[in-house]
């Protein structure tokens, strides 16, 4: 090690405080980069698990493939694994307690793992004579079966006769009391296992799912099969590869239902594997990640650059001395890079370690939420990709290099004369330190002296203000990023206000109400909401709709916009709670008129774009025709943007208006119409619960008491719980990110101000020697801190607003919501700047106030 590097190490040891703060700052930066990359890879891994839990591991599926053509697909070299799926159809379940699901829907598979079916008890079926039942079937059907049992079941068709016309019901059709099951064949199975099936495989509305085996060598010619495939390499050309394979397969022959081979993708799994044909959505995500990386980069460079700049001021005499004894520019420049290398050797491994440990601990603490979210039995794993860690290391080295570059260039240009005179550190003229007379009149002599001190040492002043302004910008950028990401997520998350619902349409209204009233008495529900729904046509003039509607709609030949409305009633308790939450006076809805609340703002989903829109320009007191009854009108008693409890988080139809009425108002509507109007009522009871199986078992006996009613039950408990858990996880990550950015900002400010104060020991000693009292010194420094804070906010806040708006516009590509300012964070930033500046100055002055004036004046190394 040469003499220059030895002096560098000695200087770092002498200034332990600055060196330690710099190392801590770099450690935090590296830890954040590690966490960001780890979160990214772990998040993608988690979402892949979610996609697999919902629909399976397959990436593309070929539908309606004839048995003789299956080999064309399965023998393709690009395919790693495949499953051949044969739909066997509906089988009647004996003694099912769930009258809404009296069937099994059975499919045969050659490889259950591809579609994501996993055994809970026993094993998967291996041939056509074995069967696996879903766990949901055993939990809620009331049928007592176990592994090893042999059952004989009847396959058949569901036939529904309406007005003399008969039709066959399919997998997606709900059970109706008037349908008839017609057996076509009988088969005996041995139950080999109880399985957990992907959520998508449980979507048969009137049936539970069951899975049989399939022998690849026994495929029937002309019979339609589905081939689900996993590719060897996940690349962007999967879509083109799949289309090429499809073009080689001939269409199914002699099948009435067949329209040729069709292609379907597991788009969610592909998206979370980094593959998507929706470039607009991906660009939005990439820009968001780029914003996060830029915030970390700016904060890190600012912190490390200031550390080296201050180090250079401390060592200017040393560099001048080295120049006088023959040190070259390259050697002086290398000494600064050597300091950066020493810091990097210490900080980068420590940052990698603590970043991995920190995010690992976070995952561990959030494991219960994540396990429920992804329906996995094992704790969530931390995914650390070697390539990502290499990128973090290279990026950290890059940060250190560019941070040290300018100080290194300045160090190489220091000559012996400029070092002795220190003319580069302080270059002033009389006008440079001139201050306004108002400063002394308003704040006193100490304030004027403090302001002159700042102007006298422009380099340190600008460095400190820059550091403070950058800290304000970073903090507000991070907090606004969290705010807008949270808004975007809330717009995009699953639109589920309930866990489970029971729905009926068209039955005897008195019988339906008797059923729904009984359902409202169940004990295992956390919340219960009873609704009744009628559809109504609307014909609106141009001046009655907003630009959100007119820009998406077209006028009919009569010059009107044709729209529809959902007129929905809430039970009395839910209606009263809704009025209170929306801040609506119940007196507005009193009177003999039919009064309604117009929900005039909601989130509209158009593909991957989410927009907050309003629909009508009507005012309170306006009347809307009820077109089902001639001359009937509905008065708009109040207009709100508060979603009622039945309304989804986002809508996919911009042209349906929501009107909320009381049960009394709904009955008035029905009284105006004829008997057929009551047959058009949709009745529903929505529940949230913590005990899903207990609630379903409580509901089934009630439903079975009304065999004359057509109803269906929708169970969305797992999906809704998943959305809530995901919100918790994302909130933890976002606010954790803000906290870490805040730590970098604090380290930056403390490092800059405290070391700057340390460099001014001789100045403070000189002021004390000419009679400045300790109180006067404190007052001067307090005003210096005030001027630092004010100047940094003057620069930082406008730039922060621009950065916030830039982040908003990035997310606005897919999520359209009003631009809002994080006022609380703005206030915190302002208070935080003055608090940290004051604390740093107080710490620095206390540390050096007891030093001898004479010794400080004699010290030539400051």
For the chain, the average pLDDT equals 78
Residue 861 pLDDT exceeds 50:
no
Asked whether residue 649 falls in the same domain as residue 673, the answer is yes
Asked whether residue 235 falls in the same domain as residue 309, the answer is no
Determine, yes or no, domain membership for 259. Answer: yes
Determine, yes or no, domain membership for 274. Answer: no
Determine, yes or no, domain membership for 278. Answer: no
3-state per-residue secondary structure call for 217-284: HHCCCCCEEEEEEEECCCCCCHHHHHHHHHHHCCCCCCCCCCCCCEEEECHHHHHCCCCCCCHHHHHH
Asked whether residue 505 falls in the same domain as residue 651, the answer is yes
Asked whether residue 434 falls in the same domain as residue 570, the answer is no
Where does the pLDDT of residue 862 fall: very low under 50, low under 70, confident under 90, or very high at 90 and above?
Answer: very low
pLDDT of residue 254: 39
pLDDT of residue 420: 53
Residue 643 pLDDT exceeds 80:
yes
Return phi, psi of residue 718, to 5°: -65, -40
Structure-token pair, residue 859: 């010290």
| Cα separation, 203 vs 193, whole angstroms | 20
Number of domains in the chain: 4
Asked whether residue 50 falls in the same domain as residue 63, the answer is no
Asked whether residue 24 falls in the same domain as residue 96, the answer is no
If you count DSSP H runs as helices and E runs as strands, how many of each does the chain have, helices first?
Answer: 25, 23
Q: Tens digit of pLDDT for each residue in 650-693?
A: 788 889 999 999 999 998 888 887 667 887 888 999 888 877 77
Q: How many CB atoms lie under 10 A from the CB of residue 20?
A: 12
Say which residues have a Cβ less than 8 Å from residue 824's Cβ, sequence separation at least 6: none
Task: Tell me the pairing of strands 103-109 and 207-213.
Answer: parallel
Q: What is the DSSP string of 396-458?
A: HHHHHHHHHHHHHHHHHT--HHHHHHTTTT----GGGG---HHHHHHH-HHHHHHHHHHHHTH
Q: How many CA atoms lie within 13 A of 453 on its CB side?
A: 22
Q: Tens digit of pLDDT for each residue in 163-208?
A: 667 788 888 787 877 788 999 999 999 999 999 877 665 555 788 8
Q: How many CA atoms lie within 13 A of 752 on its CB side?
A: 30
Asked whether residue 570 falls in the same domain as residue 681, the answer is yes
Range of the domain at 668: 500-715
Structure-token pair, residue 13: 């040891």
CB of 121 closer than 8 Å to CB of 193: yes
Mean pLDDT for 380-404 is 82
Mean pLDDT for 777-806 is 83
| Cα separation, 637 vs 625, whole angstroms | 14
| Cα separation, 834 vs 786, whole angstroms | 7
Q: Tens digit of pLDDT for each residue in 38-56?
A: 877 777 777 777 777 777 8
- Burial of 648 by CB count in 10 Å (0-12 exposed, 13-18 middle, 19+ buried)? middle
Last residue of a domain, one of 687, 715, 743: 715
Instruction: Give the CA angle between residues 251, 252, 253 to the nearest 5°.
Output: 115
Determine, yes or no, domain membership for 27. Answer: yes
DSSP assigned state of 616: B
pLDDT of residue 151: 92
Residue 747 pLDDT exceeds 60:
yes
Determine, yes or no, domain membership for 271. Answer: no
Determine, yes or no, domain membership for 52. Answer: yes
Determine, yes or no, domain membership for 273. Answer: no
Q: For tokens 């550190």, what's the residue? A: 425
Last residue of a domain, one of 715, 738, 769: 715
Asked whether residue 792 falls in the same domain as residue 724, the answer is yes
Q: For tokens 């399976």, what's the residue? A: 56
pLDDT of residue 252: 43
DSSP assigned state of 220: P
Say which residues have a Cβ less than 8 Å from residue 296's Cβ, sequence separation at least 6: 29, 32, 33, 36, 741
Question: Angle 279-314/717-758 helices, nearest 10 degrees?
Answer: 20
Going by C-alpha positions, the residue among 803, 755, 704 that lies closest to residue 481 is 803
Beta bridge partners of 532: 569, 683
Residue 141 pLDDT exceeds 70:
yes
CA distances from 168 to 155, 222, 674 (A): 14, 22, 32
Asked whether residue 752 falls in the same domain as residue 780, the answer is yes
Asked whether residue 71 falls in the same domain as residue 187, the answer is yes
Mean pLDDT for 391-420 is 74
Asked whether residue 82 falls in the same domain as residue 221, the answer is yes
- Is pLDDT larger for residue 462 or for residue 59? 59
Q: How many CB atoms lie under 10 A from the CB of residue 632?
A: 16
Residue 155 pLDDT exceeds 90:
yes
Buried residues in 756-766 as b, exposed as e (16+ CB within 10 A): bbbbbbeebbe
Q: Tens digit of pLDDT for each residue in 807-829?
A: 787 777 666 677 888 888 888 88
DSSP assigned state of 202: G
pLDDT of residue 567: 93
| Cα separation, 588 vs 598, whole angstroms | 13
Return phi, psi of residue 197, to 5°: -100, 150
Enter the pTM of the model: 0.55
Helix (H, G, I), strand (E, B) or coil at 822: coil
pLDDT of residue 187: 93
Task: Tell me the pairing of strands 130-134 and 180-196.
Answer: parallel
Asked whether residue 531 falls in the same domain as residue 576, the answer is yes
pLDDT of residue 388: 81
| Cα separation, 771 vs 761, whole angstroms | 16
Least confident of 7-11, 95-99, 641-645, 691-695: 7-11
Determine, yes or no, domain membership for 280. Answer: no
| Cα separation, 181 vs 262, whole angstroms | 29
DSSP assigned state of 619: -
CB of 190 closer than 8 Å to CB of 131: yes
- Burial of 417 by CB count in 10 Å (0-12 exposed, 13-18 middle, 19+ buried)? exposed
In angstroms, what is the C-alpha Rg of the chain?
36
């Amino acid at each position: 090690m040469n003499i220059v590097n030895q002096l560098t190490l000695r200087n770092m040891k002498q200034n332990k405080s600055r060196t330690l703060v710099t190392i801590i700052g770099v450690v935090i930066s590296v830890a954040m980069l590690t966490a960001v990359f780890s979160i990214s890879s772990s998040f993608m891994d988690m979402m892949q698990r979610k996609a697999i839990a919902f629909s399976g591991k397959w990436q593309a599926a070929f539908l309606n493939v004839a048995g003789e053509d299956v080999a064309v697909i399965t023998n393709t070299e690009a395919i790693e694994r495949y499953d051949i799926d044969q739909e066997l159809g509906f089988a009647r379940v004996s003694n099912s307690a769930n009258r809404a699901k009296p069937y099994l829907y059975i499919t045969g598979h050659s490889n259950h793992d591809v579609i994501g079916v996993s055994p809970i008890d026993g094993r998967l079926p291996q041939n056509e004579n074995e069967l696996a039942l879903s766990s949901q079937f055993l939990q809620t059907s009331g049928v007592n079966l176990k592994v090893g049992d042999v059952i004989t079941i009847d396959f058949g068709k569901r036939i529904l006769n309406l007005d003399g016309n008969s039709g066959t019901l399919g997998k997606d059709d709900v059970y109706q009391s008037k349908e008839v099951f017609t057996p076509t064949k009988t088969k005996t199975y041995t139950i080999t296992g109880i399985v957990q099936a992907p959520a998508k495989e449980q979507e048969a509305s009137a049936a539970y799912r069951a899975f049989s085996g399939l022998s690849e060598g026994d495929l029937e010619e002309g019979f339609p099969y589905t081939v689900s495939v996993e590719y060897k390499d996940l690349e962007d050309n999967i879509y083109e590869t799949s289309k090429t394979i499809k073009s080689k397969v001939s269409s199914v022959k002699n099948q009435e239902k067949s329209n040729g081979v069709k292609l379907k993708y597991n788009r969610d799994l592909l998206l979370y594997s980094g593959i998507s044909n929706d470039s607009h959505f991906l660009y939005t995500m990439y820009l968001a990640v780029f914003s996060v990386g830029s915030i970390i980069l700016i904060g890190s460079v600012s912190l490390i650059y200031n550390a080296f700049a201050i180090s250079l001021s401390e060592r200017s005499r040393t560099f001048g001395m080295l120049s006088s004894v023959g040190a070259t520019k390259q050697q002086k420049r290398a000494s600064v890079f050597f300091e950066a290398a020493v810091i990097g050797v210490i900080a980068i491994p420590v940052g990698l370690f603590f970043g991995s440990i920190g995010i690992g601990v976070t995952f561990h603490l959030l494991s219960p939420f994540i396990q429920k979210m992804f329906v996995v039995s094992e704790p969530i794993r931390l995914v650390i990709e070697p390539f990502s860690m290499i990128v973090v290391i290279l990026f950290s080295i890059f940060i250190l290099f560019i941070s040290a570059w300018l100080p290194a260039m300045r160090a190489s240009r220091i000559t012996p004369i400029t070092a002795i005179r220190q003319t580069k550190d302080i270059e002033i003229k009389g006008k440079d330190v001139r201050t306004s007379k108002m400063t002394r009149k308003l704040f006193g002599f100490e304030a004027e002296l403090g302001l002159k001190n700042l102007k006298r040492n422009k380099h340190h002043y600008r460095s400190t203000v820059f550091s403070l302004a950058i800290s304000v910008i970073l903090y507000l950028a991070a907090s606004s990023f969290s705010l807008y990401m949270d808004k975007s997520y809330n717009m995009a998350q699953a639109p589920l206000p309930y866990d489970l619902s029971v729905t009926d349409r068209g039955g005897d209204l008195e019988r339906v109400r008797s059923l729904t009233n009984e359902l409202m008495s169940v004990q295992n529900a956390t919340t219960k909401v009873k609704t009744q729904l009628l559809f109504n046509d609307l014909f609106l003039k141009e001046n009655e709709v907003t630009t959100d509607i007119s820009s998406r709609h077209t006028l009919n030949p009569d010059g009107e916009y044709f729209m529809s409305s959902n007129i929905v009633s809430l039970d009395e308790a839910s209606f009263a709670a809704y009025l209170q939450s929306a801040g609506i006076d119940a007196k507005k809805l009193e009177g003999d008129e039919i009064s309604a609340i117009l929900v005039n703002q909601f989130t509209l989903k158009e593909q991957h774009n989410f927009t907050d829109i309003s629909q009508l320009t009507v005012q309170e007191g306006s009347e809307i025709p009820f077109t089902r009854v001639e001359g009937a009108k509905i008065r708009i008693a109040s207009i709100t943007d508060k979603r009622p409890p039945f309304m989804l988080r986002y809508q996919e139809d911009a042209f349906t208006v929501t009107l909320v009425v009381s049960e009394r108002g709904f009955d008035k509507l029905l009284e105006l119409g004829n008997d057929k109007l009551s047959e058009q009522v949709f009745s529903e009871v929505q529940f949230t619960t913590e005990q899903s199986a207990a609630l379903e078992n409580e509901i089934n006996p009630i439903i079975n008491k009304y065999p004359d009613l057509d109803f269906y039950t929708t169970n969305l408990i797992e999906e809704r719980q998943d959305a809530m858990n995901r919100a918790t996880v994302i909130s933890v990550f976002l606010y954790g990110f803000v906290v870490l950015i805040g730590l970098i900002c604090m380290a930056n400010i403390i490092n800059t101000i405290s070391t700057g104060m340390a460099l001014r020991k001789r100045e403070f000693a000189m002021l004390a020697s000419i009679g400045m009292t300790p109180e006067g010194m404190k007052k001067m420094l307090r005003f210096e801190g005030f001027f630092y804070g004010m100047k940094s906010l003057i620069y930082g806040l406008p730039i922060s607003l621009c950065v916030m708006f830039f982040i908003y516009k990035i997310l606005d590509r897919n999520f359209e919501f009003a631009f809002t300012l994080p006022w609380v964070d703005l206030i915190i930033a302002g208070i935080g700047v003055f608090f940290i500046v004051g604390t740093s100055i107080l710490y620095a002055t206390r540390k050096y106030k007891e030093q001898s004036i004479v010794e400080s004046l004699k010290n030539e190394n400051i």
